Amino acid sequence: MKFYKLAVILFIISIQIDADNIDQEYKIELLIYKYNITKTDEYFTSLYNIYKEDLITLDENNKNSDFSNVSEYIEAILNNDLIKANSIYPKIWLRDNSDITKLNKLKNQLINDKSKTFLESKSWIQTIPKEESSKFIYYSSDDYGFLIKLYKKRFMHIELDSFLKNETNKINKFIQINQRVFNEEIYLFDHPYFGVILSINEI
């Protein structure tokens, strides 16, 4: 009888939580910089608006979920309280991580490159859910920012919007990327005024 109950509980959990979301975490590292001298005659007039809904803000308060609340989660599932269940174990687990390891050499090169101004590095650990469960992770400073969404279809994909702000806080210099990406790869997304370097590594 105990084995039957355990099997039922494990079956419920397997339905409600994608196994990838528990077992597979990825270290994301991102560098953003701008060019000191811009070699382009292109004039950017279109404005970018942060129109995405239900954003996850990247800050120091992001904490990873753990398994200490399994009993609460099971109780919520048995009571069909999916809102509570998802708050205990959300589809995207995210925690801030300040270490730059994979991109550390590139970061130092950018800092020492007189043709560029290094703006910031960000690093975090997250799960990468299926497309229908994915959300944009949002970060913004006074001068620049980005929105990034990683998800899995048949392969891993990224949607990245990164931008520079002007003196009036409007955005007319931005990158918009939507493409397939791979684990353990480094990507450069370039713009005449600035650039973003990104690495994705399963841990």
Q: What's the rounded Cα separation, in Å, for the pair 125 and 107?
A: 19
> What is the reported pTM?
0.75
pLDDT tens per residue, range 49-79: 887 777 888 864 554 444 455 567 667 667 7
Q: What's the rounded Cα separation, in Å, for the pair 20 and 156?
A: 12
* CB count in 10 Å sphere of residue 154: 6
Q: What's the rounded Cα separation, in Å, for the pair 120 and 138?
A: 15
| Pairing, β 116-126 against β 137-140 | unpaired
Burial tier of 35 (Cβ tally within 10 Å: 0-12, 13-18, 19+): middle
What is the overall mean pLDDT for the chain?
81
pLDDT tens per residue, range 156-184: 999 999 999 988 888 989 999 999 999 99
Q: What contacts 122, CB < 8 A, 6 or more positions away?
A: 29, 30, 32, 58, 139
pLDDT tens per residue, range 103-155: 999 999 999 999 999 999 999 998 898 888 888 999 999 899 999 999 998 89
Tokens matching residue 57: 């803000």
pLDDT tens per residue, range 84-102: 666 655 556 777 778 899 9
Selection from 116, 134, 141 nearest residue 53 by Cα: 134
